[in-house]
Amino acid sequence: MTQKMYFQRGIMSIIVLACILFLNTSVSFAQKVKTSDVPDVVQESLMREHPMSKLKEWVIEDKLYVAFIIEDGVKGKVYIKSDGEWEISKFETPVREMPAKITDYIKLNYPNFIISESSYAQNAKDKTFYYIEVKRTGIGAGLPSKLKFSTIGDLINREDPPGFTIQETASEDEIQKNKRVATNPDAVPKEEKTKKPEKKLPEDLISESSVPAPVKKTFDKRFMRAEKVQWFHREGDSIYNVKCVFREISNTVKIAESGAWVETRSEMKEETLFASVKKYLLNNFKGHKLVYADKIIRADKNNGYSAIIYEKANIKDKYETKLIFDKSGKILKTIYPQITDTSNDPKQSSLDKKFSQSYDSNQDNLKDGDEKMKNSEVKEKELPSPITKYCAANYPGFRIKKSYFVEDADLGNVYQLRVQRDGINQPYVDLYFDKFGNFIRSEDGNGVEKTVEAVIVEDTQMPTTLVVPDTVKKAFAVKFPKITSIRWEEVDEGFEGSFDDKKGVQKVMFTPNGTWVYSANQMNPESVSEIIKNDIKKNHGKKVEITKAWIVKKSDKKTYYKIEIKNKKTNEDEVLEYTNSGKLVGE
């Protein structure tokens, strides 16, 4: 055999060996794909699950469509089946930010392994969890082990590759340690065996089964996949309180017995504290330590912030000072700590006496900040549109003189309006509506009550009974088979339907022959990109506010943003449409 033949045979052997190694590693490659080639149902699924995210690119991996996104500044990947079924979302998470229980478990069970992937994940089955992959280092290390942990670090699932063993990489001491744990898994350090006193449960803590259905429905819709949920309610109280962790933030929520959402308080860390609040604390309470702060979002729109601080010099005594701010960061109330009167105590310092005197004088002048944020006046332009339509139809020639969002002893949280004709000593009527703008009752100037509507309010642009073509209904049923309740409106282009799903309010447009025109997801106006905000400010002035914002998907398979703005000075409305890159459509 010639030298050339030996050389050729050697090359063939190397190629065969490389192929074997390649097949054994079972590597899956991702194939990049254009957005226009991604099925509509897949793109709509992404919009439903992550409406506030920014899409970077699409790839196909293991027969799944994978969207690379950025949400709240964090990189993530969303895995969706070709039929639009959402499978899982993963967001990059540093190992140092995970519970210590997770890293301790990996050190014990995977000595000398490396963490090749760590992420905060979400799916329909397990809700939220940490996803970890660990593997050996070096060539031919094989497939990784896949682990799932709860948000507090408890192991949910462990999936090791076939033939897995740790002895190949573990030291002798680590192997013996693992054997001891395996033979006696209940063994715990001596100090941990000491029985701890049982914690006394709060008196108002209730089981989830005791929560009224309307209250539970409102909570599930607003806080889907919330964790560590605890319900609280006192007998005779019309408000249910719930504490939970949502998107890794602790929240306290108030919901009325009727199911009307009242308030959400979201915990804020010092580094995320509202700038005006932080500045006020630095300027007025330099010798204090921030121990708690939250953001307050209310149904009556009287939003704000609160903070609790301790005086550093007496931090062991935990003298608590509570501050309440409005939504602009302006101080509403300062509640000083309750300190025992020791003004005649010869041991008390002059500084302590001065503090006590200041506290006593302030108590006489303080107003209740929480009450100020409740029971306050609401501007007419801030009222739900069904209320203004009702007034115009039932009380022609009357004007809305005053409007409030109040807590009524019988009705709960409601809008209260007084409508009156212009002129001296003209008759007036007080009207009550729920938070959605539905009429409840009215009282005239003589106290006579009426609870039945005189006129059924309809949009003047629409007939009393809207007839939606069967072609439109069938097209909607095909595109949204799980939606059974929808509100239709006839517009210039055709028929626009509005409905609610787990991600909030959605709209969809069809032509009369059933051709889909667009779908839109309502988004938080605060989440509108800075590029769009700056363009609006530049071209429409600083007196303009964004009242509503929508993510719109059109038949051209491109994403747009529909922005509704209102001029605070002239009260004029305008609708703007921007491209995904923040460019005004039509420019």
Amino acid identity of residue 346, one-letter, is P
How high is the pLDDT of residue 460? 37
* C-alpha distance from residue 578 to each of 88, 330, 520 (Å): 30, 34, 13
* Residue among 459, 453, 395 nearest 428 (CA): 395
Amino acid identity of residue 256, one-letter, is A
Establish how many alpha carbons lie within 13 A of residue 528's alpha carbon, considering only the half-sphere containing its beta carbon: 28
Residues 6+ positions from 400 with CB-CB distance below 8 Å: 380, 383, 388, 391, 417, 418, 419
How high is the pLDDT of residue 199? 62
309 within 8 A of 281, measured Cβ to Cβ? yes
The whole-angstrom distance between residue 370's C-alpha and the CA centroid of its chain comes to 24
Q: What is the DSSP string of 441-470?
A: EEEETT--EE-S-SS----TTS-SS----H
How high is the pLDDT of residue 349? 44
| Angle at CA of residue 242, ends 239 and 247, nearest 5° | 140
- Provide the residue-wise pLDDT of the chain in tens; the chain has 587 residues: 555 555 455 555 544 444 444 444 444 567 889 988 999 889 888 888 887 778 889 999 888 999 999 886 788 899 999 998 998 898 888 877 778 888 889 888 888 788 888 888 888 776 788 899 988 876 666 788 999 988 778 898 899 888 777 654 455 555 555 555 545 555 545 544 455 566 667 778 888 888 898 899 889 888 888 888 999 998 878 899 999 998 888 999 999 988 888 899 999 888 888 888 888 888 888 888 898 999 998 887 788 899 999 888 777 777 788 889 888 888 888 887 755 544 454 444 444 444 344 434 443 333 343 444 445 678 887 788 888 888 888 888 888 888 888 766 556 678 888 888 877 767 788 888 887 778 888 877 655 555 433 333 333 333 445 788 889 998 888 888 878 778 888 887 789 888 876 666 788 899 988 888 888 888 777 777 888 888 888 888 888 888 888 888 887 777 888 898 888 877 788 888 888 778 888 76
CB atoms within 10 A of CB 442: 21
Residue 321 and residue 336: Cα distance in Å, rounded? 5
* C-alpha distance from residue 259 to each of 302, 411, 433 (Å): 20, 12, 15
Strands (DSSP E) found in 269-361 = 288-298, 304-311, 320-326, 331-335
| 3-class DSSP state of 516 | strand
Residue 441 and residue 390: Cα distance in Å, rounded? 12
How high is the pLDDT of residue 180? 57
CB atoms within 10 A of CB 34: 9
CB atoms within 10 A of CB 520: 22
- Residues, the chain: 587
Query: pTM for this structure?
Result: 0.33
**Alpha-carbon dihedral sign for residues 506, 509, 510, 512:** positive
| 3-class DSSP state of 551 | strand
